[in-house]
Amino acid sequence: MKLWGGRFTKATDKSVEEFNASIQFDCRMYAEDICGSIAHATMLAQQGIISQEDKDAIVKGLKAIFQQIEEGKFDFSVELEDIHMNIEKRLTDAIGEAGKRLHTGRSRNDQVALDTHMYVRREIAAVAKLLVKLQESLVKAAEKYSDVIMPGYTHLQRAQPILFSHHL
């Protein structure tokens, strides 16, 4: 199920597949990919582009795939290259032709842009929580060692004495 394989007569060398694949990185965007695909299928049905039955089958299939991934029962394939193709292949295998309609009106670039945007938003929130914990730890250490004196530095050379708490 190569997107670009129609012009080639020989199978792709395994090392080329591994080099081109991004699944080892983008598998962490499965929730965003599935969420974006559910929203896209819903829009397609609301606009009358796909039937309500196809939309329902797609949504049900995507939710089942999400559950499989959450439970560790989904094997990601390097041969399918990325998160989008892994999910689309599993969906199409599960629900048939309706799964192929998921890409109607949406390019892979659109899908990548959405997934990346949503993933970065989620990760920023997680990093922000970690930064707050770091700040709290620095304040706690500064309070604990408020009377410790250390050399201050300017241009990598020792300067006037300062408090370690000030340094933190």
Enumerate residue ranges in the chain where pLDDT < 50: 1
Question: Per DSSP, what are the bridge partners of residue 149?
Answer: 163
Q: What is the predicted pLDDT for the residue at 1?
A: 46
- 3-class secondary-structure state, position 103: helix
CB atoms within 10 A of CB 92: 18
Cβ atoms of residues 62 and 4 within 8 Å: no
Q: What is the predicted pLDDT for the residue at 59?
A: 98
Distance CA 120, CA 127 (A): 10
Distance CA 110, CA 69 (A): 23
Q: Is the overall model pTM greater than 0.85, yes or no?
A: no
Structure tokens at 26: 């983008």
Structure tokens at 67: 């559950």
> Would the CA dihedral through 61, 67, 69, 72 be positive or negative?
negative
pLDDT tens, 124-135?
999 999 999 999
